Amino acid sequence: MKKYVTVEFRLYADSLNFEQVSSDFGLVPTNIQRAGEQAGAGRVFNKSMWGIYEQNQDGGEMTWDSLESGISSLLRLLQPNETQIHAYQEKASLVFWCGVFHDTPWTSIQISHSMMKTMGSLGIELEISTYGTSDSNDI
C-alpha cells in the first residue's frame, strides 16, 4: 500500500492582512486565499486563509510517511511563534490541514497522545482529509 501525507498550518478569518501575518510570524506563506475570490468550479472562498507548509528541495510541498511526522516537523518550524499563535486565536481559526493520500479505499491514521496535547495547548485544530483510490497508479 502506498500512502503519503501533506500538512499545512492555516489561519482562517473573514479578513486577513497577509503582509501583517507574515511579519508577525516571520514566515512567508506558501498558500493564501482571499475571501470572495473564485475557488474553482463555481465555488467562492468564504474566508481568507494564510497558510504555510514545508517545502522540499524543488520548492514543492513536502510529503511525509506519517501524519505525526508531518505535524512534528511543522511544529518545529512554528515553535518560535508560540506567542503569535496564541495572539491569533482571538481573531482567526488556527488549523493543521492534513491530506492523506493512499492507494486503497481505506487507511488508518494514528496520532499520539503527546502530539494531540501539544496541538491542544496551542489551540490548533486538526482537519484531516483522506483521498483514497482503488488504482495504485493514481497517487
Tens of each residue's pLDDT in the chain, 139 residues: 577 888 999 999 999 999 999 999 999 999 999 999 988 788 899 999 999 988 888 888 888 888 888 999 899 888 889 999 999 998 999 999 998 888 877 777 888 999 889 888 888 999 988 888 655 455 4
Beta strand 93-102 pairing with 3-13? antiparallel
Beta strand 38-40 pairing with 43-44? antiparallel
The pLDDT value recorded for residue 137 is: 55
The pLDDT value recorded for residue 135 is: 56
Give the burial class of 105: count Cβ atoms within 10 A of its Cβ; 0-12 exposed, 13-18 middle, 19 or more buried: exposed
Can you give the residue ranges of every domain in the chain? 3-138
The pLDDT value recorded for residue 87 is: 93
DSSP, residue by residue, 116-136 = HHHHHHHT-EEEEEEEE-S-G
Would you state the cell numbers that stand for residue 124, as one nine-digit string? Answer: 490548533
Give the burial class of 5: count Cβ atoms within 10 A of its Cβ; 0-12 exposed, 13-18 middle, 19 or more buried: buried
